[in-house]
Amino acid sequence: MRVREREFRWGTRTYVMGIINMSPDSFSGDGLTNAESALAQAQRMSSEGADILDIGGQSTRPGLPSITVEEELERVIPAVRQISEKVGLPISIDSTKYEVVRQALEAGASIINDQWGLKQEARLAELAAEKGAPLILMSNQRDRGSYDASLQRDTTACDGDIMAEVIGSLGLSLKIAKQAGVPPENLIIDPGLGFGKTWQFDLEIIRRLDELKILKRPILLGPSRKSFLKMVLDLPVSERIEGTAAAVAIGISKGADIIRVHDVKQMVRVCRVSDAIMRKGAHLT
């Protein structure tokens, strides 16, 4: 996959996507409030080895209402513009709103990250096709209401085949994207840890991540600081770095091509060691 002047060769190594949250109510506690602080974080992440920067303005914390298009534009567009001018990394816009994505692409973003996999805004596929922008499609179960909240504390209850559901959801998203004219080489899939799934399902997805290879697209995995780590470790967000590292390493062993993380420096190191083991000497000179 080519993004501007950069080439991504899947299977040769794991690529690192650094998270830049332009939301004051981010679950991870790292929300930024202005373009200058976003630029500083982008520059730091670039120096630490990030390959992509993912910028979003809407918190994904469960239960929070969606912000308006205008508010999201105000949060993300100045950051996208400054970072695209001063940091030489591809920028992914993390949004489900058509107008936010359109303006972000005009401001310098080059990848679309859709947390609803075209289920809420199918026009994003047309935009991706028109602009030649890679499109990340995520499996999101928040609209189904099929997972009982009581399962959050039942360590044995994991009814249903979550991987079958994720694969089916992503398969439909891929079909919508291809019908809109998005080239297959521009499509990336994300199983969507969290997002309506129980923490047991999140563990199951990582354990069985290699089953997504049936879809024949690069796999993005985003375990960073997420609530399944809290349930396993009983630790706050600020103390989940080792848990994130374990999930990243196992995800790579199961076929992850991109990892989406907050702690770039540490996870780049995890990727390098994991790649050296799993990809026959990648990163070694």
Q: Are 84 and 108 in contact (CB under 8 A)?
A: yes
Q: Give the per-residue pLDDT at 59.
A: 76
The type of residue at 117 is G
Total Cβ atoms within 10 A of residue 179: 12
Q: pTM for the complete prediction?
A: 0.90
Q: How distant is the alpha carbon of residue 61 from its chain centre?
A: 14
pLDDT, tens digit only, all 285 positions of the chain: 999 889 999 999 999 999 999 987 655 556 787 999 999 999 999 999 999 999 999 877 666 778 899 999 999 999 999 999 999 999 999 999 999 999 999 999 999 999 999 999 999 999 999 999 999 999 998 876 443 333 333 333 345 799 999 999 999 999 999 999 999 999 999 999 998 899 999 999 999 999 999 999 999 999 999 999 999 999 999 999 999 999 999 999 999 999 999 999 999 999 999 999 998 756 554
Torsions phi, psi for 135 (to 5 deg)? -130, 120
| Among the listed residues 91, 22, 23, 21, the one whose alpha carbon sits nearest the alpha carbon of residue 53 | 91
pLDDT in tens, 16-44: 999 999 987 655 556 787 999 999 999 99
Relative to beta strand 15-21, strand 6-7 is unpaired
Helix runs in the chain, H state only: 35-48, 69-86, 98-107, 123-131, 162-179, 199-207, 227-233, 241-253, 264-278
* Terminal-to-terminal C-alpha distance of the chain: 24
Relative to beta strand 2-3, strand 15-21 is unpaired
Q: How distant is the alpha carbon of residue 191 from its chain centre?
A: 9
| Rounded-to-integer distance, Cα 82 and Cα 77, Å | 9
| Among the listed residues 242, 199, 248, the one whose alpha carbon sits nearest the alpha carbon of residue 223 | 248
Annotation: CATH topology of 9-143+157-278: TIM Barrel (3.20.20)
Q: Give the per-residue pLDDT at 158.
A: 41
Q: Give the per-residue pLDDT at 284.
A: 55
Q: Give the per-residue pLDDT at 5.
A: 84
| Total residue length of the chain | 285
| Rounded-to-integer distance, Cα 152 and Cα 93, Å | 30
Torsions phi, psi for 16 (to 5 deg)? -115, 125
The percent of the chain in helix, strand and coil, each rounded to the nearest 5, is 45, 15, 40
Instruction: List residues with catalytic annotation.
Output: 226, 260
| Rounded-to-integer distance, Cα 168 and Cα 104, Å | 30
